[in-house]
Structure 1
Amino acid sequence: MRASEVRQAAQALFDNHNTPFGAFSLGSETHQTVTIPDAVRRCRWIAVDLEATAFGLFFVSPSMERSRLVPCFDSDYPGVSVASKFISGSNGEEMVRHARISTEPCWWADDGASGTEAMFDALEWVSRTAPLVPGSNGIAFPVHAERGQCGLVVFMGSAMRVTQEMLYEIHGRCFALFSAVARIRPGEAGRVRAISKRELECLKLTANGHTSEEIARLLKLSVHTANQYLTQTTQKLNAVNRMQAVAKALRMGLIE
Structure 2
Amino acid sequence: MSSGRSGMGAELKSRIMSSRGDIFPKLIAMQKLIQARSFAVFRVTGSGLPRKRVLSCECESWAAGGTGGSYSDAFVACYGEFLLSHIDDLLLPLMWNAKNDAISCTSSDFGAFVSRLPTASLPFAGLAFPVRLGAVGNGFVVFGMSSSDDLSSEVIIDLHNRSCKLMMDILSMSERKMTQSEALSDREIACLQLAGDGRISEEIADNLGLSVHTVNAYLGSATIKLDSVNRIQAIAKAIRLGYIN
State the TM-score, normalized to the length of structure 1.
Answer: 0.53
Instruction: Note the C-alpha offset of 1:96.
Output: 1.0
Which letter does structure 1 place at the counterpart of 2:27? C
Q: Is 2:159 aligned against 1:173? A: no
Q: Is 2:36 aligned against 1:52? A: yes
Instruction: Note the C-alpha offset of 1:37.
Output: 3.7
Instruction: Could you tell me which runs of 5 or more consecutive residues in structure 2 were left unpaired when the two chains were aligned.
Output: 1-11, 178-245
How many Å separate the matches in 1 of 2:139 and 2:155?
20
Which letter does structure 1 place at the counterpart of 2:40? G
Q: Which residue of 1 aligns with 2:107?
A: 120
Q: Is the 8 A contact 1:83 1:133 kept in 2?
A: no
Instruction: Note the C-alpha offset of 1:102.
Output: 1.7
How many Å separate the matches in 1 of 2:38 and 2:119?
15
Describe how 1:1-256 pairs up with structure 2 within 5 A: 35-63=19-47, 66-76=52-62, 81-89=69-77, 91-111=79-99, 112-113=101-102, 116=104, 119-124=106-111, 125-131=113-119, 134-145=122-133, 147-159=135-147, 160=149, 162-186=151-175
Instruction: Note the C-alpha offset of 1:136.
Output: 1.7
Q: 2:175 is paired with a residue of what secondary structure?
A: coil
Q: 1:130 is paired with a residue of what secondary structure?
A: coil
Q: What is the alpha-carbon root mean square deviation over aligned residues? A: 3.2
Q: Is the 8 A contact 2:128 2:142 kept in 1?
A: yes
Per-residue CA distance 1:172-191 (angstroms, 9 max, x = gap)? 00000000111100278xxx
Q: 2:122 is paired with a residue of what secondary structure?
A: coil
Change (3 A) 1:151 1:113: same
Instruction: Could you tell me which runs of 5 or more consecutive residues in structure 1 were left unpaired when the two chains were aligned.
Output: 1-27, 189-256
Change (3 A) 1:29 1:101: farther
Instruction: Note the C-alpha offset of 1:148.
Output: 4.7
Which letter does structure 2 place at the counterpart of 1:87? F
How many Å separate the matches in 2 of 1:134 and 1:187?
34
Instruction: Tell me the number of residue pairs that the alignment of Structure 1 and Structure 2 aligns.
Output: 158
Query: What is the aligned-residue identity percentage?
Result: 20
More RCO (CA 8 Å, sep 6+): 1
Change (3 A) 1:42 1:142: same
How many Å separate the matches in 2 of 1:99 and 1:36?
26
Instruction: Note the C-alpha offset of 1:89.
Output: 3.2
Instruction: Note the C-alpha offset of 1:76.
Output: 4.8
How many Å separate the matches in 1 of 2:36 and 2:176?
30
Q: Is the 8 A contact 1:106 1:127 kept in 2?
A: yes
Instruction: Note the C-alpha offset of 1:91.
Output: 3.1
State the TM-score, normalized to the length of structure 2.
Answer: 0.55
